[in-house]
Copies of this chain bind each other. A is one copy, B any other.
Amino acid sequence: MKLALIGYGNVGRALARLVAAKRREFPFTITGIHTLRHGTAIDPGGLPLDPPFGPRAPTIEAFFEAAGAEIAVELTTLNPSTGEPAMAHILAAFARGMHVATANKGPIAHAYAALREEAARAGVGFRFESAVMDGAPVFNLWRGCMPGVKVLGFAGSLNSTSKVAIETMERGGSFEDGLSAARQMGITEADGAYDIEGWDSAAKTAALANVLMDARTTPLAVGTRGIGRLTPERVREIARQGKTVRLISRARMTASGIALRVRAEVLDRGDILAAAPGTSNVLLFHTDLMGTFGTVSIEPGVEQTAYGVFSDLVNLSGGGAKPYNRQ
C-alpha cells in the first residue's frame, strides 16, 4: 500500500527506516512526504530515506493528489490546545477516501467522536496507537483483546518529563536540573511547562477516555494540577517516608458522568504506577469482566513511537493478526 507522510521529523524518519526494513513482509511504499520546513517530495515508485525535496505542495489536497497514496500518515508537530494542523490534514484525507494513521494525540483528545464518525461516513479506517504510550499496545489492546469488556475507568503514569524531574529532585537536584535532564533526553520542549503543568497528561487522559469510554470530552474538561509547585524539599521528605510522587491520570465512571483528573499523587515506592523505571509508562484499565489489568512500556524511544504507527498501517491494510498456527 502507498503511504503519504505529513511531517518528517524523528518519528517519520524512524518509520521510513522501519518500512524499508520490513518491506518484504509488509509491502508498504512511501510515495509522498510533505513538510513545512523542507518542502514536498513525491515519487510514485517509492521515496528513499533521504528524499530530494522540491517546492512545498500548495495545499494538503494537492499533496495527496500527487502522492496517490491509500493511507495518510499524520506526524506533524502539534498545537496541543487545538489539535491543529493535524485535524485539518486528517479530515482532508478522509474526504479523499484515504485511511489515516496518526501519532498525534491532539485530534483524539479534542474531537475523537467527530473524527470517528467522519471516518465511518467515508468508509475508511482511522488509527492512532502511538497517541498515548509511544506505541505500546493500548488502543489495539482494547480493540482486539477485550471483546465484551466495558472499561469502567483507568489510572496511568503517562508523562515522562514530570517523572524525570521528580527522580532528579529525589537524587538531590533542583526542579530546573530535572527539566534540563528531560530536555537532554529529548522528551520535552524548551520550557517544559506543557508537561510540568499537566497539559500533556490531560490530553492523554482525554484521548484515552474518548476512545475507551466514549467520553466525548476534551483536555479542558480534565481537572488538572501539575507538579509546578513541587519543591525538592517536599520530594525528599516524601522519599524519606519510602514514598514517591507521580503525575497520575485517572478516569472513573460516576453517577453524573465520567470524572477525569490529573494530579501529582504520593505513592508507595512499590506501587505499580510508580515502579516503571526512567521514562517508562504504566496504564491500568479498570473493567467489568477482566478486573484490573494493564500495559507497561519500558523506556520507550522514537523507534517505539514509529512502531506504533507501523502497527496501525498493518492493521489498516488488513494484515494485523497472526494466524494461530504461525511457525
Q: Which residues of A contact B (CB under 8 A)?
A: 18, 22, 25-26, 116-117, 119-120, 125-127, 135-137, 140-149, 214, 244, 269-272, 274-277, 280, 282, 284, 289-301, 303-304, 307, 310-311, 314-315, 319-322, 324-325, 327
Contact = CB atoms under 8 A, between A and B. Distances in A.
Contacts of A319: 147
Given A145-B145, A324-B127, A291 B300 contact: yes
B136 A324 contact: no
Contacts of A143: 321-322, 324
B147 A322 contact: yes
Given A272-B280, A291-B303, 19 more contacts: A119-B324, A120-B324, A135-B290, A136-B290, A137-B293, A140-B144, A141-B141, A141-B145, A144-B144, A144-B321, A145-B311, A147-B311, A147-B315, A214-B327, A244-B270, A269-B270, A271-B275, A272-B296, A291-B297
Given A119-B324, A270-B274, A290-B307, A147 B314 contact: yes
Contacts of A303: 289, 291
7 contacts: A26-B147, A126-B324, A137-B141, A141-B145, A144-B321, A146-B311, A282-B296
Instruction: Pick from A214, A270, A272, A293 the residue with the most CB of B within 10 Å.
Output: A293
B18 A289 contact: yes
A151 to B, nearest CB: 11
Contacts of A301: 291
A295 B295 contact: yes
Given A137-B141, A146-B311, A322-B143, A284 B300 contact: no
Given A120-B325, A144-B144, A315-B147, A289 B272 contact: no
A312 to B, nearest CB: 10
Nearest to A311: B147
Contacts of A275: 270-272, 274-275
A217 to B, nearest CB: 15
A290 B272 contact: no
A137 B126 contact: no
A144 B147 contact: no
Given A291-B303, A322-B147, A298 B272 contact: yes
Contact of A298 (B274, B291, B321, B324): B291
B304 A291 contact: yes
Contact of A117 (B136, B276, B291, B325): B325
A325 B100 CA distance: 13
Given A22-B148, A291-B299, A291-B300, A324 B137 contact: no
A72 B25 CA distance: 34
Contacts of A282: 272, 296
Contacts of A272: 272, 275-277, 280, 282, 296, 298
A117 B272 CA distance: 39
B289 A310 contact: yes
